Structure 1
Amino acid sequence: MIETMRGPLADDNLGATLMHEHIFGLSPEVHWNRPDLPEEWEIERRALEAATRLNEIKALGIDTIVDLTVIGLGRFIPAIERVAEQTAVNIVVSTGIYCADTLPPYFGNKGPGSLFGGEDRMVEFFVRDILEGIGDTGVKAAMLKCVVEHAELNADIERLVVAISRTHELTGTPITVHTDARTQSGRAAYHALAKRGVAPDSIIIGHAGDSTDVDYLSELADRGLWLGMDRFGIESVSGEERIATVVAMCERGYAERMVLSHDAYSFNDRVDSAIVAVRHPNYHYAHISRDVIPELRRRGVTQAMIDRMMVENPQTILSS
């Protein structure tokens, strides 16, 4: 059984899954102090918009999304509950911390080696999210997330990786790591987690698809890691390059190690949506279904390979 916003779901009902998405990206301290901001955060309106977008991809054959919004990105489960009530798409939520270099002060100022010392609360926080539920919602997280962007981990990221590893040990929850293709930090993420006992088949190397270096990607896959080809629609790497990389990896036999997604949001107050729409016109939940999969088929990727990346691999990861 896999935990979702509506409770446990049998893994064979997961269906076609986007493994790295977001619903809302929020800056709560900004909104608390400036409710008149032009971004206009209003739960009911934004929840209906999100549900409408999810219902569109349900009609295109997507059954589940994994929302990787964690602490540091404005996770607010009551808002996601309103979305879940209005869509048939299954929503899997996550726990962890999004930080590239410095832990949020709530965690960073506590614990061994911190400025003020005391008990490290991260493991307790993550385990409770997974086993008991997030806040008082009863909604349980089913993914862990952290960030490793550099070849060398600083003290804060080391602490986070230790906490994520310990939580995985206690709960078995799979891990997505935000990595940077420019530094090829997937290697550092692997070594940091493996050193602490995390098996490679419990680790997704997030944003692996930002790389066009198929030798680097093959190296990660050969270690048994999952490759998150998860930024379709973001033109930091062209759509053509992203598709060509997936095709090349399929030709090498690695469909069994890849998952596909967009890393898209329905509402994100941290970007200017009008500018994003111009610069990244395909940055939305429907791009893979409407554009990417038909093009993969045209280039020789078989339906069996597509099903492996979209259905079987997500089911394996989430039910492990």
Structure 2
Amino acid sequence: MSEVATVRGPVDSAELGRTYMHEHIFVLTPDVQQNYPDEWGEDGSREQDAVEKLSALAAQGVRTIVDPTVVGLGRYIPRIQRVAGRVPQLNIVAATGLYTYDSVPFFFDHRGPAVGMAEPMVEMFVGDITDGIAGTGVRAGMLKCAIDRHGMTPGVERVMRAVAQAHHRTGVPVTVHTHPESRTGLDVKRVLCDEEGVDPRRVVLGHCGDTTDCDHLAELADAGFALGMDRFGINLATTFEARADTLVEMCRRGYAGSMVLSQDAACYIDWVEPAVMSLLPQWHYLHIADEVLPYVRGRGVPEEQIHTMLFDVPRRVFEGK
């Protein structure tokens, strides 16, 4: 057992319960929201909508979500605190890190190694974990970085190495946005694990369900990673059946103990024109319980494996076992 930081305070890892390891609450573009506030509307109505959606999720038996919304995704903890306070039956684990596919934000261009100084991201991330985020007292319980089809650019590598250093100083696990079609999980293995020494058992490789290449996924699982089958409902470039059948096949091969489940959903994401959301009718918090689990049960995935993916693997990621 170990302590896991949540928005409302620490909980014992044994009390995490059914856990979704990659769900957002709000994903926003702060510069746009600050300068065009009509797009957002009223805080009260947005927060009420979030409370209702998260309460419905908790009513399905989900007890914990990890919200990997960090710098680059519009993290604003006071708003999340207000929402969390109204959904007391749900633990929300906040994250620290930086989200980029290529370069770092301009803020970092002339700070840190480029000017012969220490990497400021490390102290920023460590401070979020040990002291709390932006004076709120909310400590981050997860580290986050990203690598996409652009590959291991200098900016991506810089963030990833800073995340590794923060992990070693705090013991907090890591989640990485990846692009499995480009096999970027292997780049994560090289930099984060082989070179920086992060135990892959403490790392969730996000968005592994974006591929149907089970041989590649098995390679990553055999290396020790937790595979994030975490975009159920995002079925534009793929289908519901492709995602679910990949999960079934990986379970058949014996990899339930290497997978976690989520939807990468949000109460509101300003990256997507609201009208476009109608093209993704399954992209919401309730999709896994309502549609994915009945589908995989019907194709032979036993309850024991479902329990492993929803309860045991998330707990192990946090405990480091």
Normalization by structure 1: what TM-score? Answer: 0.95
Residue type of the alignment partner of 1:128: G
User: How many residues were matched structurally?
Assistant: 315
Q: State the match for 1:199 in structure 2.
A: 199
1:177-196 matches, cutoff 5 A = 177-194=176-193, 195-196=195-196
Distance (whole Å) between structure 2 residues aligned to residue 34 and residue 90 of structure 1: 32
Distance (whole Å) between structure 2 residues aligned to residue 33 and residue 243 of structure 1: 41
Runs of 4+ that moved beyond 2 A? 116-120
Residue 319 of structure 1 deviates from its aligned partner by 2.6
Q: State the match for 1:172 in structure 2.
A: 171
Q: Could you say what the CA RMSD is over the residues aligned between the two structures, in angstroms?
A: 1.3
Closer/same/farther in 2, CA of residues 103 and 129 from structure 1, 3 Å limit: same
Residue type of the alignment partner of 2:7: M
Contact 2:101 2:150 in 1 (8 A): no
In the TM superposition, what whole-angstrom CA distance separates every residue of 1:263-298 from its partner, at most 9, and x where no partner exists?
A: 01101122112211x211000000001111111111
Residue type of the alignment partner of 1:131: T
1:120-269 matches, cutoff 5 A = 120-150=119-149, 152-194=151-193, 195-235=195-235, 236-269=237-270
Residue type of the alignment partner of 1:135: A
Q: State the match for 1:2 in structure 2.
A: 4
Residue 108 of structure 1 deviates from its aligned partner by 3.1
Q: State the match for 1:316 in structure 2.
A: 316
Residue type of the alignment partner of 1:301: V
Q: State the match for 1:34 in structure 2.
A: 36
Residue 117 of structure 1 deviates from its aligned partner by 5.5
Residue type of the alignment partner of 1:319: E
Distance (whole Å) between structure 1 residues aligned to residue 287 and residue 72 of structure 2: 26
Residue 43 of structure 1 deviates from its aligned partner by 2.2
Contact 1:262 1:283 in 2 (8 A): yes
Residue 44 of structure 1 deviates from its aligned partner by 2.1
Contact 1:150 1:188 in 2 (8 A): no
In the TM superposition, what whole-angstrom CA distance separates every residue of 1:37-80 from its partner, at most 9, and x where no partner exists?
A: 3x42x322211111111110111111111001000000000010
Contact 2:231 2:263 in 1 (8 A): yes
Q: State the match for 1:71 in structure 2.
A: 71
Distance (whole Å) between structure 2 residues aligned to residue 205 and residue 224 of structure 1: 11
Q: State the match for 1:279 in structure 2.
A: 279
Distance (whole Å) between structure 1 residues aligned to residue 109 and residue 285 of structure 2: 34
Residue 120 of structure 1 deviates from its aligned partner by 2.3
1:62 equivalenced with 2:67 (yes/no): no
Residue type of the alignment partner of 2:128: D
In the TM superposition, what whole-angstrom CA distance separates every residue of 1:57-104 from its partner, at most 9, and x where no partner exists?
A: 111111111001000000000010011011121100100000000111
Contact 2:102 2:150 in 1 (8 A): no
Q: State the match for 1:292 in structure 2.
A: 292
Residue type of the alignment partner of 1:127: V
In the TM superposition, what whole-angstrom CA distance separates every residue of 1:141-160 from its partner, at most 9, and x where no partner exists?
A: 01111012248522211211
Distance (whole Å) between structure 1 residues aligned to residue 270 and residue 110 of structure 2: 27
Distance (whole Å) between structure 2 residues aligned to residue 215 and residue 171 of structure 1: 33
Residue type of the alignment partner of 1:279: L
1:46-125 matches, cutoff 5 A = 46-87=46-87, 88-113=89-114, 118-125=117-124
Residue type of the alignment partner of 1:187: L
Q: Structure 1 regions of 5+ residues with no counterpart? A: none
Residue type of the alignment partner of 1:298: G
Contact 2:24 2:69 in 1 (8 A): yes
Contact 1:181 1:211 in 2 (8 A): yes
Residue type of the alignment partner of 2:31: E
Q: Structure 2 regions of 5+ residues with no counterpart? A: none
Residue type of the alignment partner of 2:68: L
Distance (whole Å) between structure 1 residues aligned to residue 225 and residue 72 of structure 2: 25
SS in 1 for 2:92: strand
Distance (whole Å) between structure 2 residues aligned to residue 212 and residue 138 of structure 1: 41
Normalization by structure 2: what TM-score? Answer: 0.95
Contact 2:21 2:314 in 1 (8 A): yes
Contact 1:21 1:65 in 2 (8 A): yes
Distance (whole Å) between structure 2 residues aligned to residue 151 and residue 281 of structure 1: 29
Distance (whole Å) between structure 2 residues aligned to residue 287 and residue 108 of structure 1: 41
